Amino acid sequence: MENKAILVVSFGTSYPETRSKTIDIIEEELVKRFPDRTFYRAWTSGMIRKKIKERDNTVIFSVDEALDQMEKDGITDLLVQPTHLVAGEEYDKIMNRICANQNRFQSVSLGEPLISSFRDVYHVARILESRYSELTDKDMLVLMGHGSAKLEFDAYEELKRQFNKDGHDNYAIGTVEFTPGIEPVLEKVNEFKPGRVFLTPLLLVAGDHATNDMAGDGPDSWKNQIEALGPQVECHVRGLGEFPEVVKMYIWHAEHASVIK
């Protein structure tokens, strides 16, 4: 007899306000979509799991710990859906752990991150263009992504191409870690000379990067670096996971997960 489970894997966040609006909502919607599967959660950030345990006395599994628990519970059919945005190093770690342990289950399926194909790029672009439809031709939208040392599919570059294709030359994307960094954003602000910049995270949750690196008071925050060039900056500290359209994309990825065993 099959004993089915869904494991939702996130990087994690220590900000409860943004977690309740993003990760928790995605998990709840996946549970609704797959009512025949027992729900399990795992976070890939050991630092955040440790902080949550010490601060909130809440234990959140690592991927390996979740796999151990599911095997103890007699799970035979496993569906894994990450909430990561791109197929970078963090996603590779998940794949490696799942593939290394696939023989512990009869069937294993793995869903892709949010932006894993040209189809995903198209839909994310449409979501953001709709959300910021009030921009005038004198405004700019700046998106702060995380970045990755390795990308099988360069979601950031493809998203920029889609924005340009859609006629949004006043959109710019940078990353807080790895290349391209903030430099292309500052160059575009200098070139475009907008009167107003809408600054928002291209991240699932509006956690530490969005609160401090993007919208913080320090001189190196993206807000202050952009303001130093002249425009008024309006920060929208809101993770992509707060958009219902994005949640639906994660559901779609889970529904179209690839069977690896």
Known catalytic residues? Answer: 146
Decide: 13 and 19 in contact? Cβ < 8 Å: yes
CA–CA dist 126, 111 (Å, integer): 22
DSSP code for 103: G
HSE (side-chain half, CA atoms, 13 Å) at 212: 4
Is 260 in a helix, a strand, or coil?
coil
CA–CA dist 111, 159 (Å, integer): 21
| DSSP string covering 114-176 | SS-SHHHHHHHHHHHHHHTTT--TTEEEEEEE---S--SS-HHHHHHHHHHHTT-TTEEEEES
